[in-house]
Structure 1
């Protein structure tokens, strides 16, 4: 049984991060006007925006370069005409989430750990998102009140780590996060908690006293895996958020996706790794693009990806070089790209 949240958390007052969330830009025309690009033929797609709506916090927009249609942050969020192309090899479920669903928002792919789709909500809609077609309405742990997911974890003593993902788990209010972790606290075989979140990067206001208090009170070692793809995603507000998260005792890692037109150069990747480290975040994974429908224009060929990674390793110390991997449905873990080559047919 999931205990009720303490009374003071039942009706929390509106907070700064929630206001910033509500004020996110949702209209591509407004976004382009804010950047002085309304008169340029940027090539955005109304059809793509209907299928997967634009959402981007204004603070993230402020980090984009004014007047630059090739800005790497803009490219990650603007719905473009290339998304409308049907490309062989790109599917609605690129990583086999469907086959690994266990009910109640729980996905069990890898030994010893299970991923909990805490919510379908996110503060930013990244155009390359591998879950952009995920059936959140049918399979979200928060929507199910946590009960089924917690019961499934409790029934499997091989599960030592719970990964909160989504959407973005930090989209949830603190009292909802508390409900979940209080329920997990009673499961003796759960030893670690991991959060996969983009909010501290795109909406650093989310890292506030309430969230930090929740993290401080958790009984497990906590790893927070943030998601930044370009050095320009970091600014002083993000740096402060990272420092506050580290002060809770959490380990901070970054996972990035290799994206055409965003970070597909050695300079861009090196800058990302060094800038993240300056903020206290160690590089973790550099993912080769998951082949989700609508994202083919972001793909970097495998050979080029390997060359970029080799050049990055020659430039930086080993602890600043992320592992270059691909996720292959049905495999027991992420696969190093060199070993994965040839196991997925190239897109046409």
Structure 2
């Protein structure tokens, strides 16, 4: 495992007084040119090899604070490999599709997916602060399928009409990319539905853009009448720096249950040292490892896949090293299944 190495000397970041400024500015300042990213890491000379055929149609977006956790001079850095486009994304692989987990078949009204008993998932937005190359919704039609349009009206009507729904899941894109006022508009409406008891938010922002966990967001969290679960998405311990740890502590203090889900990714976290370090680091921040997903087989991502037997061997090795509560559940999402399936 390659340790994290801050790049404050390589990547220009705001002065200390500005680093806690409004999160929207950090969002706008993200790196969108892969050559710039390589230059900041001191490996621009390898751009011709690393980026050959990398015009994939899936844009690059990397917050500068996330890039600052990458190891300079290392083209195999586990954080860099998650965001750097490559020619492998252009390959057509049998068994891979543009909707690997059956999102469109689970659609009820615009932006609302109802796959599992008692839970409904809202596609809150198509926006993300970071574009991960293994994204399972990289082909999703966000323009037509966003629950936040028209003040969430269609989504709220659907939730209110089905008394079996006790939990609402916000996904995307990243739901925390929405303004806090827009999120409050949803939760004010949810508070009028007596059978909705829990709000679960799946988000990468506290990890890649911890400035998002600001006072306004925490005030909103504090006032929620629902049970609150935030499921983070970190794949490697090097993603978690002091700012991320503080964001997690803020969420925990507001009564949020914090979980993490990871994706098992070849060359990034497919070894026991990386997974054990991730579990320990998460738990030190008050976050419980929850799921370790086998790759969703979306076209353009096959080069990240880890074989099932190798994944099972990794879980066995983790059990020999860590207490049981730090072992994530190894699962796969299968279109049409009634739940995530154990591998």
Q: Does 1:44 align with 2:51?
A: yes
SS in structure 2 of the partner of residue 284 of structure 1: strand
Q: CA RMSD in A?
A: 1.2
Structure 2: unaligned runs, 5 residues or longer? 1-20
Match of 1:30 in 2: 36
Deviation at 1:103, TM superposition (A): 1.6
Cα displacement (A) at 1:76: 0.3
In structure 1, the residue corresponding to 2:289 is in which secondary structure?
strand
- Within 5 Å, give how 1:309-348 maps onto structure 2: 309-337=315-343
For residue 117 of structure 1, report the CA deviation from its aligned partner: 0.4
Equivalent residue for 1:190? 196
User: How big is the shift at 1:143?
Assistant: 2.6
Q: TM-score, normalised by structure 2?
A: 0.92
Deviations 1:2-37 (A, max 9, x none): xxxxxxxxxxxxx61000000000011111111011
Aligned residue in 1 for 2:248: 242
Q: 1:110 aligns with which of 113, 116, 132?
A: 116
Aligned position for 1:159 = 165
Q: 1:289, 1:298 within 8 Å by CA — same for their partners in 2?
A: yes
Out of 100, 107, 116, the position equivalent to 1:94 is 100
Partner of 2:50: helix, strand, or coil?
coil
Which of 139, 142, 151 in structure 2 is aligned with 1:145? 151
> What displacement does 1:147 show?
0.5
Distance (whole Å) between structure 2 residues aligned to residue 44 and residue 296 of structure 1: 17
Alpha-carbon distance in 2 for matches of 1:316, 1:92? 36
Pair 1:304-2:310 in alignment:
yes
Which of 64, 71, 78 does residue 77 from structure 2 map onto? Answer: 71
Alignment correspondent of 2:15: none
Contact 1:42 1:69 in 2 (8 A): no
In structure 1, list runs of 5 or more residues that go unmatched.
Answer: 1-14, 338-348
- Post-superposition shift, 1:46? 5.3
How far is 1:144 from its partner? Answer: 3.7
Q: In the TM superposition, what is the alpha-carbon distance from 1:81 to its structure 2 partner?
A: 1.0
* TM-score with structure 1 setting the length: 0.91
Q: Deviation at 1:141?
A: 1.0
Cα drift, residue 104 of structure 1: 2.2
Question: C-alpha distance in 2, partners of 1:77/1:248?
Answer: 31
